[in-house]
Chains A and B, each alone.
Chain A
Amino acid sequence: MKTAMLTSAIAIAALSATAAVARDQVQVAGSSTVLPYATIVAEAFGENTDFPTPVVESGGSSAGLKKFCEGVGEGTIDVANASRPMKDSEVEVCKTNGVTDILEVRFGYDGIVFASDIAGNAFAFTPEDWYKAMAAEIVVDGKIVANPYTMWNEVNPALPEQEIMAFVPGTKHGTREVFEEKVVIAGCKTTGAADIVKAERGDEKACSALRTDGRAVDIDGDYTETLARIESNKNGIGVFGLSFFENNTDKLQVATMGGVIPSTETVASGDYPVSRPLYFYVKSQHIGVIPGLKEYAEFFVSDELAGPDGPLAAYGLVSDPALADTQAAVAAAGN
């Protein structure tokens, strides 16, 4: 019995000892796409300032924003990384939980690329090709039919004779939304199928329903899983982030989209169509409470890091041309 009392005493002591003094480490969570950038910044921040290195968790944009909106106080995270803008519904949840002062920081852009095994055929895609190859139902002669294509050259004679097999990000990824919106639905619109789908199905979003016969494979893991799937199935074409591709150029070859080769330059100029902004959200109510929070945000968007010659661009981030405005907005926050 003595031991039991002793252990419970230890447990109580451990529990009560917490939450006494303010935490001194910035806590970050969110998108796995933003994670590498956030860790690079956190590492440099810890090295170059007297503040401790922030703790960065991943888990996805939605999960991060959910945690972010749990409330105000040192038990909640300070920064949420996101590969998409915050939704109105999420802002609502934040508000009801008392998180009223949110600073949105857009720090750059990320390209989404289509890549296949380096030894295989080269591809030059257009969004229409992807719509025709991937959609569950396509429009032929004004009628909606189940997708009949099995080879890329059936979709578009200019493409190589290769079986259709694509590894696309699963629905929990922010990348999936961009893929559907900027590729599949865009292709649906340019082929003129969107109007017919809208008339028949009530919403042009029905264009983005992907085929379920095993030719469009959802990858719920990360890009390393997509890469492994391509290595085991050389006919597969994978959807990757630009930075991931740039770290694996010895294994993958990238396809052009609408005739444009994806690179940080073409994404920045807007010529390459499939890209998305990257964000992080700062809980302004924590500025001044959690030491180093504002400094971290300022450090993140500084020219030295997020600028075109900084380490983030070297890793594959497309620098934001309007970075100066962002810097001013961050500098003004919490005052």
Chain B
Amino acid sequence: MNTPRKGSLLVQDARTKRRNAAEARFKAYGLTAIAVGVLALIVLVTSILGNGLSAFRQTEIMLTVELPESKLDKSGTRDLDVMKKVTTLTYGPILAKGLKDVIAANGIEIEGLTAKDVDAMISKEASAQLRDRVLADPSLVGQTVEITVLASGRIDGYYKGRVSLASAELDSNVTPAQLRLADALKDKGILVTKLNPAFITAPDASDQRPEAAGLGVAILGSAYMMIVVLVLALPIGVAASIYLEEFAPKNRWTDLIEVNISNLAAVPSIVFGILGLAIFINFGGLRASAPIVGGLVLTLMTLPTIIISTRAALKSVPPSIRDAALGVGASKMQAVFHHVLPLAAPGILTGAIIGLAQALGETAPLLLIGMVAFVREYPAAYSAADGLFGEPSTALPVQVFNWTQRADPAFFERASGAIIVLLVFLLIMNAVAIILRRRFERRW
């Protein structure tokens, strides 16, 4: 016989105390876990924002430049073919002279400022900008024009805390005299730091001009790849799931397929890159660095995700809906397409968007198919030579990878800025997924 336990409901015995303590401990573990997660997120986001927000602002110098005919068009005929022979290297000194004139006109005198220092204040991108302007309108030659040019990366870094007078003493790429000149120009309102839309629209730039590098090509490339993924992965994935979930007989073969799909979802993404290189580039003859190849590889990678989430969405539609449809005489196909699919649609779309977001941030497979490249030409969506989405481009995540490898510290800021752009895109996509689910999902 067991002796009945003595005690009161009002006074906790030792065992109850232990159980309650265990519960309190578990809650504390949970809270700690969440706190660690949130803290990590805060550290990550603040460090990225701290490093990267400055990429959206850029220092510019306003110049008045004389365009001497003797240098730009010796023939005097304004013949474009002749004027094209004058390279950007000729335009550099013209800009430097323009800046010297501005310095003299404003009565700025800086001790120890050499001609080379003045020359190096202006971004090397500026000479290309001036050349393009002159070639677009040859009548400008011989006149004086106003032009706003980028300041060089180190001068820009001075206003972003990357360069200081102390570090300039040691830095072989910038002198303290240049920084004092920059301050003097800023006082006169000739040099300003302002919003830089070119960071989003401009193409990549070489190591010598980090101030001009932008994300234009990478964003286009990512967009093209997302279109390919959406157009291929969504229909194929949904069709496969509907067949497997609603029509396929349950036997060993479908089990095998199911296991393989779940397995594929867990395969490291770099494997899809190796596959893409072997099939689409080496065997299929598609061009390396092309968004179509990236899109196809990412499609393969995203398909399992979409199939699994679509099947889950189809499964969550209660069987009574199917039974009711079949009961009033609908065919199996009518029951699926008229009743089950519309009810599962929000879940399918959510899965597709999350799959797309995953594909957007994927880097590893793109390394293997040559998308980590220096590309300055905007890729066209279609060209006769390269087909649909066949022109070389980069993508947002590989642009981040690419910039972190460059020698100039200014590219670190650019890379963080690119991460911010990528995060904003991911945030939008996930927000859309949540909104869709909230508004249209039905629960039973």
What residues of chain B lie closer than 8 Å to A57, measured between beta carbons? 288-289, 370, 372-374
Chain B residue nearest in CB terms to A224: B405
Complex alpha-carbon distance, A57 and B390, angstroms = 17
Complex alpha-carbon distance, A24 and B382, angstroms = 14
- Is there an interface contact between B405 and A4, defined as CB atoms closer than 8 Å? no
Contact A14:B388 (CB < 8 A) given known A23-B287, A249-B170? yes
- Is there an interface contact between B208 and A40, defined as CB atoms closer than 8 Å? yes
Chain B residue nearest in CB terms to A29: B370
Complex alpha-carbon distance, A240 and B249, angstroms = 63
- Is there an interface contact between B236 and A4, defined as CB atoms closer than 8 Å? yes
Within 8 Å of chain B (Cβ to Cβ): is A19?
A: yes
Please provide the chain A residues from 178 to 232 with a CB less than 8 Å away from any CB of chain B in the complex: 221-224
What residues of chain B lie closer than 8 Å to A24, measured between beta carbons? 385
Complex alpha-carbon distance, A6 and B385, angstroms = 23
Within 8 Å of chain B (Cβ to Cβ): is A53?
A: yes
Within 8 Å of chain A (Cβ to Cβ): is B88?
A: yes
Given B84, B239, B384, B407, which contacts A248 in the complex, CB threshold below 8 Å?
B407
Chain A residue nearest in CB terms to B173: A247
- Is there an interface contact between B171 and A249, defined as CB atoms closer than 8 Å? yes
What residues of chain A lie closer than 8 Å to B409, measured between beta carbons? 247-248
Please provide the chain A residues from 1 to 45 with a CB less than 8 Å away from any CB of chain B in the complex: 1, 3-4, 6-7, 10-11, 13-25, 27, 29, 32, 35-36, 38-40, 42-44
Min CB gap B240→A, angstroms: 9
Min CB gap A301→B, angstroms: 15
- Is there an interface contact between B236 and A55, defined as CB atoms closer than 8 Å? no
Within 8 Å of chain A (Cβ to Cβ): is B285?
A: yes
What residues of chain A lie closer than 8 Å to B207, measured between beta carbons? 36, 39-40, 247, 315
What residues of chain A lie closer than 8 Å to B84, measured between beta carbons? 48, 50
- Is there an interface contact between A75 and B385, defined as CB atoms closer than 8 Å? no
- Is there an interface contact between B236 and A56, defined as CB atoms closer than 8 Å? no
Within 8 Å of chain B (Cβ to Cβ): is A304?
A: yes
Complex alpha-carbon distance, A38 and B376, angstroms = 13
Given A3, A23, A27, A244, which contacts B407 in the complex, CB threshold below 8 Å?
A244
Min CB gap A34→B, angstroms: 12
- Is there an interface contact between B289 and A55, defined as CB atoms closer than 8 Å? yes
Chain A residue nearest in CB terms to B375: A55
- Is there an interface contact between A224 and B407, defined as CB atoms closer than 8 Å? yes
- Is there an interface contact between B239 and A243, defined as CB atoms closer than 8 Å? no
Chain A residue nearest in CB terms to B92: A311
Between-chain CB contacts (< 8 Å), 30 pairs? A10-B232, A14-B389, A16-B387, A17-B388, A20-B387, A24-B385, A25-B392, A36-B207, A39-B207, A39-B374, A40-B208, A42-B374, A47-B88, A47-B131, A48-B88, A52-B377, A53-B375, A56-B373, A57-B289, A59-B372, A75-B281, A224-B404, A224-B407, A244-B407, A247-B173, A249-B172, A250-B170, A304-B87, A311-B208, A315-B207
What 9 A-B pairs have minimum CB-CB distances, sorted nearest first? Answer: A17-B387, A18-B387, A53-B376, A3-B235, A56-B374, A39-B206, A21-B385, A250-B171, A36-B207
